[in-house]
Amino acid sequence: LPTGDLPCLLLDTDASLHAAHDVAFDVNPRIAGLTPQHLAYVIYTSGSTGQSKGVMVEHRSVFNFWQVMRRTTHQHCPAPATVALNAGFFFDMSIKGIAQLFCGHRLVIIPQLIRASGHELLDFLEQHQVHAFDSTPSQLDTLLAAGLLERQRYQPVSVLLGGEAINSATWEKLRNCRNIRFYNMYGPTECTVDATLDLIRDLGDRPSIGRPFANVQVHVLDARGEPTPLGVAGEIHIGGIGVARGYLNRPELSAERFIADPFSDQPDARLYKTGDLGRWLADGTLEYLGRNDFQVKIRGFRIELGEIESALLACPGIREAVVIAREDSQGDTDNKRLVAYVCGEPVPVEQLRSALLDSLPEYMVPTAFVHLDALPLTANGKLD
């Protein structure tokens, strides 16, 4: 270890080992002046803008998130447990794994090269007998296809889902699973990984992102900044201890997205404008409705792509589905068309088109259907 003024933590239980070293050990090292309001990390995210921005997250926010996981997603794991670090360090979902070191859990790092292969990833989890790991819904679909729910030799205790919406077909599978605890978690990087969570088996038959967790407040507001009634869509705003300090060296953008919290009596309390749409359900959970910039307009019609994807997933043989609005030539916004990408059995196009016309208006039926063996994923395990 380096000499000097750096604090060192003695991990050996035999105090006689002190004499073998000239380094000054401290069983409880402290850094003078460090407070919960100091920065823990700065992590870069492009979000929906495509322009990278550094999010400044404080120690108190990370500690609160870890405490929430300790009492919820990891409470049924043994002590110590084996936890897998699935996400890359540049993705804030990695905090779900790294923070488990606070509990003394063993952390195994999943190799980047096997993250996109459901069979290889499942074999790795079994080899290391991983009790808990994080995953995106897209990546989980590859594990389900590889037999995660049916494997006899290995079953994890908890799976933490986040980063994307869960489609209805996958939701039903997870909700009916009694051997594995699947948690749906939601939150932007600007609010320290997640702000809501719940055990999927305890939620309703329609996908939701659960309830706000400890020391976090969630508001669904209309265009005037007023709370929307039950069941009415609005923009999700998040307040509480998880809200980041702001964007590094971006004061104008910080002021635009981190606004004063009119619902708090705490001085300097702020809300983060997520840009996500949601609505409160009767049971107190929050339904995620997509980005407020994901609605597309084609030939004068406003279209929610998620509604088309749900209709496709209801078709027999379709395992996964994604719909996007494409331009035949770059910049030709007047000639956008809907293209559906589907995985599963090779269902004839005319059969898919006919099935969609039973539940959707003609302008919402894609003009092209592309069959894929698997949906492409980014390095983070999200849909590419």
Q: Is 290 left (phi over 0), alpha (psi -120 to 50) or beta?
A: left
- At 3 the pLDDT is 63
Average pLDDT over residues 34-40: 91
Average pLDDT over residues 25-49: 75
Query: Nearest Cα to 62, choosing from 27, 16, 101?
Result: 101
Q: What confidence tier does 148 reach under pLDDT thresholds 50, 70, 90? A: very high
Return the percentage of the chain with pLDDT > 90, whole number. Answer: 68
pLDDT score of 79 more than 70: yes
Domain 39-215+283-290, architecture per CATH:
3-Layer(aba) Sandwich (3.40)
Q: Please indicate whether residue 21 or residue 33 has the higher confidence score (pLDDT).
A: 33
- At 83 the pLDDT is 98
- At 305 the pLDDT is 82
pLDDT score of 21 more than 60: no
Q: Which amino acid, residue 337? A: R
pLDDT score of 11 more than 90: no
Distance between CA 283 and CA 211 in Å, rounded?
Answer: 10
* Full 3-state SS string of the chain: CCCCCCCCCCCCCCHHHHHHCCCCCCCCCCCCCCCCCCEEEEEEECCCCCCCEEEEEEHHHHHHHHHHHHHCCCCCCCCCCEEEECCCCCCHHHHHHHHHHHHCCEEEECCHHHCCCHHHHHHHHHHCCCCEEEECHHHHHHHHHCCCCCCCCCCCCEEEECCCCCCHHHHHHHHCCCCCEEEEEECCHHHCCCCEEEEHHHCCCCCCCCEECCCEEEEEECCCCCECCCCCCEEEEEEECCCCCEECCCHHHHHHHEEECCCCCCCCCEEEEEEEEEEECCCCCEEEEEECCCCEEECCEEECHHHHHHHHHCCCCEEEEEEEEEECCCCCHHHEEEEEEEEECCCCHHHHHHHHHCCCCHHHCCCEEEEECCCCECCCCCEC
- At 103 the pLDDT is 93
Cβ atoms of 242 and 217 within 8 Å: the answer is no
| Whole-number average pLDDT of the chain | 88
Q: What confidence tier does 50 reach under pLDDT thresholds 50, 70, 90? A: low
Tokens 């030799």 belong to 153
Cβ atoms of 216 and 244 within 8 Å: the answer is no
Least confident of 70-79, 84-93, 152-161: 84-93
pLDDT score of 286 more than 80: yes
Average pLDDT over residues 48-66: 86
The domain defined by 299-372 folds into GMP Synthetase; Chain A, domain 3 (3.30.300)
- At 382 the pLDDT is 79
Least confident of 20-34, 86-100, 244-258: 20-34
User: Token pair of 29, please?
Assistant: 């090292």
Q: Which residues pair with 297 in a beta bridge?
A: 302
Least confident of 87-96, 287-296, 336-345: 287-296
pLDDT score of 10 more than 80: no
Domain with CATH 3.40.50.12780 in the chain: 39-215+283-290
- At 290 the pLDDT is 80
pLDDT score of 26 more than 60: no
364-379 per-position pLDDT tens digit: 899 999 999 988 888 7
pTM for the full model? 0.76
Q: What confidence tier does 72 reach under pLDDT thresholds 50, 70, 90? A: very high
Distance between CA 184 and CA 175 in Å, rounded?
Answer: 11
Q: What confidence tier does 263 reach under pLDDT thresholds 50, 70, 90? A: very high
Q: Which backbone phi and psi does 169 adopt, to 5 degrees?
A: -65, -45
233-247 per-position pLDDT tens digit: 999 999 999 999 999
Distance between CA 283 and CA 306 in Å, rounded?
Answer: 23
Q: Which residues pair with 303 in a beta bridge?
A: 296
**In Å, what is the CA distance from 147 to each residue of 161, 188, 229, 254?**
18, 30, 42, 44
Average pLDDT over residues 85-113: 93
Tokens 């905090």 belong to 95
- At 295 the pLDDT is 62
223-233 per-position pLDDT tens digit: 999 999 999 99
Average pLDDT over residues 58-67: 97
- At 116 the pLDDT is 86
Domain with CATH 3.30.300.30 in the chain: 299-372
Q: Is 70 left (phi over 0), alpha (psi -120 to 50) or beta?
A: alpha
